[in-house]
């Protein structure tokens, strides 16, 4: 019995010792986990602090790279250099991205599923990118698989934003070589499929650390600039659309993004059929000679779709050996390789057979479209898509057989048609918002699917007296015009829209004689010669390039303004009493002096944070200091950007208290926060109401 008792005590002692050891072990483990948790929290705070710093300084950062202030005022009369124009366009895009960021923060992003032409999206994207990176020596390639449909159902505007954001990043990082966008399909059925996008570049690549922070706004100490807000918006849009994105990078070799998006198939019976006329069907031989092998192979794939026989000759082989062009029906030659000897050779071939010569150039690198020698049939600017090759082929052989302008679209009396301006619209200098008062009484139909572009136009014209109606797509525009009891004086027509694009809508409008005198002006980012010709073939009267230039908008109004011009009105007066609460001058400066964008940012700010006073009070009571710091960082950054000086000062004090661990003082800031926010809301609404 004593032995058993002694054994029990030994067992209890051993069990206690094991328990003590385990307690010590788990105590150390918990301390290590807590330390790791604190490190992760600190990293998150650092990231959010940099994001807030980005928002606070974005205006200052944009302003510092611009030597001239591009004001929507009489200051626009100064002559801008090409470099200044590119900077202005970059800042215009940055303001648009900031609005997207705010809309994401306030959860205002919705998916709109509508039928659209995928080629129109690619054209719009290439036009915007080429305008932003004009003069770049980088080759931009679109490599599109045959399986990609022409018609899809989905959110085309968000797809456009995604592609723009990724291409802007890639071209910013790449100084030589190429940026290639490959598009293919998978998981395809008769009515739906997924598109796989792969964007690769030949940049210097990024480190593993930078790669992990790529989709978060980060301050770059070396370049003194902020990076990541565009990619953050891209990633959020992809996920909202039901897709996912991944990125890989090898230092010294480049970076590649890959993402997928689901779409429904529009018109499944005819989704990818480009029917050539019988005259063009059969075995045509095509030769492609380009300085970019990737671009040449992508173009080859587009011609192979039509069953043509296609050969590609590399630049080095072309320069070393004499090429026999006589067996070919169509030759695409890089414009930089054209010589006088080749002109003589092509002239001799054309004298003997039906032969078409196209010179290739880069849409990015092409600064001016120099006159073509008569031996050249067309100039083709890369990147390309299937529809542009289809249109090129039919145009090469049928140009003389089809109408060239709106006056030949219908059998109506040509004397009743409104005039057509084939040249580029010139900017009228010194134009302000008040200048548009001259057109008071004009009835304007804006056909545009991008809500930001709609609001910019509406804000520019809101005090002018112009009577404005907005259509979100071409189908709405046709219906509005057909049902109108009072005639419209002018139509501004976007090209790339869902449901019905600008080309189809204009052709439908021109079928009715009562619209013969209605000016329709194209509004699009793609300014290619071929695209302009499509504009006039559809029946439009002029061509206005995006982004909006109010001097050019004024010019085009003036060109078609017979019968509705009036005397200019008084200028805008800002409320002086609001300057201390809301420095609108600095806020407008921070958006590159674009008042319309500034107003949109103010509206989005109120939607996202206008009721945050209650949230602040709840977080203080619940002692949720991490969430408080996040709210504080967002508000600190945004109030600095919009010029809300008083609110910004309050946020600086609150943030200082949080960082310093002075949590006991936070309840005292509740009233300051709410009072400053209410004052700011009154100031913002007063400014917007004007």
Task: Identify which of 522, 525, 517, 524 has the alpha carbon closest to the alpha carbon of residue 560.
Answer: 517
- CA 450 from centre of chain: 10
Task: Identify which of 331, 568, 300, 336 has the alpha carbon closest to the alpha carbon of residue 438.
Answer: 568
Burial of 116 (0-12, 13-18, 19+ CB in 10 A): buried
**Class of 279-401 per CATH?**
alpha beta
Model confidence at 306, pLDDT cuts 50, 70, 90, reads confident
DSSP 33-75: HHHHHHHHHHHHHHHHHHHHHHHHHHHHHHHHT-SS---SSGG
DSSP 8-state assignment for residue 79? P
Summarize pLDDT for 663-686 with one digit per residue, the tens. Answer: 777 887 888 898 889 989 999 998
Q: Which residue has the higher pLDDT, 226 or 111?
A: 111
pLDDT-above-70 percentage for the chain: 77
- Does position 58 have pLDDT exceeding 60, yes or no? no
- Does position 288 have pLDDT exceeding 70, yes or no? yes
At 36 the pLDDT is 61
At 321 the pLDDT is 87
- Alpha helix positions (H), 305-450: 315-320, 340-350, 386-398
- Does position 68 have pLDDT exceeding 60, yes or no? no
**Least confident piece of the model among 185-189, 243-247, 657-661:** 657-661
* C-alpha dist (Å) from residue 344 to 126, 134, 359, 396, 541: 34, 32, 15, 21, 38
At 575 the pLDDT is 34
DSSP 8-state assignment for residue 623? T
- Ranked by mean pLDDT, the top range of 85-89, 532-536, 598-602 is 598-602
Three-state SS for 310?
A: strand
Three-state SS for 416?
A: helix
Beta partners for residue 443, in sequence order = 467
CA 606 – CA 359 distance, rounded (Å): 52
Summarize pLDDT for 642-662 with one digit per residue, the tens. Answer: 889 889 888 888 888 888 777
Residue spans per domain, the chain: 109-270, 279-401, 406-559, 576-689
What's the whole-number average pLDDT of the chain? Answer: 81
* C-alpha dist (Å) from residue 585 to 77, 123, 142, 551: 20, 36, 42, 21
Q: Which residue has the higher pLDDT, 394 or 83?
A: 394
- Does position 313 have pLDDT exceeding 50, yes or no? yes
- What are the φ/ψ torsions at residue 460 (nearest 5 degrees)? -65, -35
At 197 the pLDDT is 98
**Least confident piece of the model among 77-91, 364-378, 402-416:** 402-416
Please count the CA atoms within 13 angstroms of the CA of 21 that sit on its side-chain side.
6
**Overall residue count recorded for the chain in this entry:** 690
Please count the CA atoms within 13 angstroms of the CA of 630 that sit on its side-chain side.
12
- Does position 272 have pLDDT exceeding 60, yes or no? no
- Does position 534 have pLDDT exceeding 50, yes or no? yes
Task: Give the architecture (CATH level 2) of 109-270.
Answer: 2-Layer Sandwich (3.30)
* Mean of pLDDT values over 29-53: 57
Burial of 8 (0-12, 13-18, 19+ CB in 10 A): exposed
* Mean of pLDDT values over 388-417: 60
Q: Is 3.10.310.50 the CATH number for 406-559?
A: no
Three-state SS for 630?
A: helix
CA 252 – CA 202 distance, rounded (Å): 8
At 189 the pLDDT is 80
Model confidence at 65, pLDDT cuts 50, 70, 90, reads very low
At 221 the pLDDT is 61
At 671 the pLDDT is 82
Take residue 341 and report the two structure tokens written for it.
Answer: 């000897």
Task: Identify which of 595, 607, 689, 611 has the alpha carbon closest to the alpha carbon of residue 643.
Answer: 595
- Does position 437 have pLDDT exceeding 70, yes or no? yes
Model confidence at 125, pLDDT cuts 50, 70, 90, reads very high
**Is there a shared CATH topology between the 279-401 domain and the 406-559 domain?**
yes
- Does position 298 have pLDDT exceeding 50, yes or no? yes
CA dihedral 347, 350, 352, 354 (to 10 degrees): 180
């Amino acid at each position: 019995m004593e032995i058993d008792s002694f054994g029990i005590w030994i067992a209890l002692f051993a069990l206690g010792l094991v328990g003590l050891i385990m307690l010590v072990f788990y105590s150390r483990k918990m301390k290590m986990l807590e330390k790791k948790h604190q490190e992760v929290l600190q990293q998150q705070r650092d990231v959010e602090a940099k994001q807030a710093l980005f928002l606070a300084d974005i205006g200052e950062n944009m302003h510092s790279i611009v030597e001239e202030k591009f004001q929507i005022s009489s200051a626009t009369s100064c002559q801008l250099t090409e470099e200044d124009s590119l900077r202005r366009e970059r800042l215009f895009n940055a303001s648009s991205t900031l609005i997207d960021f705010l809309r994401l923060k306030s959860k205002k992003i919705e998916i709109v599923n509508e039928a659209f032409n995928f080629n129109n999206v690619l054209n719009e994207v290439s036009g915007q990118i080429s305008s932003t990176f004009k003069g770049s020596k980088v080759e931009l390639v679109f490599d599109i698989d045959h399986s990609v449909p022409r018609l899809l159902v989905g959110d085309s505007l968000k797809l456009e934003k995604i592609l723009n954001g990724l291409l802007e990043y890639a071209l910013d990082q790449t100084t030589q070589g190429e940026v290639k966008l490959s598009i293919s399909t998978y998981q395809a059925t008769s009515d739906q499929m997924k598109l796989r996008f792969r964007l690769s570049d030949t940049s210097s690549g990024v480190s593993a650390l930078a790669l992990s922070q790529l989709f978060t706004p980060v301050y770059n100490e070396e370049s003194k600039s902020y990076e990541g807000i565009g990619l953050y918006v891209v990633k959020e849009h992809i996920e909202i659309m039901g897709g996912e994105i991944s990125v890989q990078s090898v230092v010294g070799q480049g970076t590649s993004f890959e993402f997928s998006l689901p779409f429904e198939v529009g018109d499944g019976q005819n989704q990818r059929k480009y029917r050539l006329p019988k005259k063009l069907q059969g075995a045509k031989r095509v030769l492609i000679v380009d300085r970019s092998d990737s671009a040449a192979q992508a173009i080859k794939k587009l011609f192979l779709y039509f069953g043509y026989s296609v050969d590609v000759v590399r630049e080095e082989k072309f320069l070393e050996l004499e090429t026999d062009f006589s067996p070919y029906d169509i030759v695409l030659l890089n414009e930089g390789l054209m010589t006088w000897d080749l002109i003589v050779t092509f002239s001799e071939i054309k004298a003997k057979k039906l032969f078409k010569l196209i010179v290739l150039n880069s849409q990015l690198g092409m600064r001016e479209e120099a006159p073509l020698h008569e031996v050249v049939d067309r100039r083709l600017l890369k990147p390309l898509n299937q529809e542009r090759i289809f249109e090129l082929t039919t145009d090469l052989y049928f140009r003389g057989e089809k109408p060239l302008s709106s006056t030949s679209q219908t059998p109506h009396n040509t004397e009743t048609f409104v005039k057509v301006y084939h040249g580029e619209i010139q900017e009228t200098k010194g134009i302000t918002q008040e200048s548009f008062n001259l057109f008071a009484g004009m009835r304007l139909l804006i056909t545009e699917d991008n809500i930001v572009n709609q609001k910019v136009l509406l804000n520019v014209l809101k005090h002018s007296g112009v009577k404005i109606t907005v259509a979100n797509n071409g189908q709405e525009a046709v219906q509005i015009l057909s049902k109108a009891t009072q005639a419209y004086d002018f139509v501004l027509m976007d090209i790339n829209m869902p449901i019905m694009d600008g080309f189809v809508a204009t052709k439908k409008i021109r079928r009715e004689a009562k619209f013969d005198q209605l000016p329709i002006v194209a509004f699009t980012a793609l300014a290619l010669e071929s695209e302009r010709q499509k504009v006039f073939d559809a029946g439009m009267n002029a061509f206005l390039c995006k982004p909006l230039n109010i001097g050019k908008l004024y010019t085009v109004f003036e060109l078609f303004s017979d019968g509705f011009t009036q005397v200019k009105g008084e200028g805008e007066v800002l409320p002086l009493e609001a300057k201390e609460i809301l420095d609108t001058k600095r806020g407008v400066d921070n958006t590159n002096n674009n008042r319309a964008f500034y107003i949109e940012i103010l509206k989005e700010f109120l939607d996202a944070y206008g009721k945050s006073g209650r949230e602040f009070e709840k977080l203080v009571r619940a002692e949720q200091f991490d969430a408080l710091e996040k709210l504080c960082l967002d508000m600190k950054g945004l109030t600095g950007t919009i010029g809300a000086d008083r609110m910004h000062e309050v946020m600086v004090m609150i943030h200082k208290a949080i960082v310093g661990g002075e949590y006991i003082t936070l309840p005292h800031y509740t009233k300051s926060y709410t009072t400053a926010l209410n004052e700011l809301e009154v100031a913002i609404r007063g400014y917007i109401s004007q």
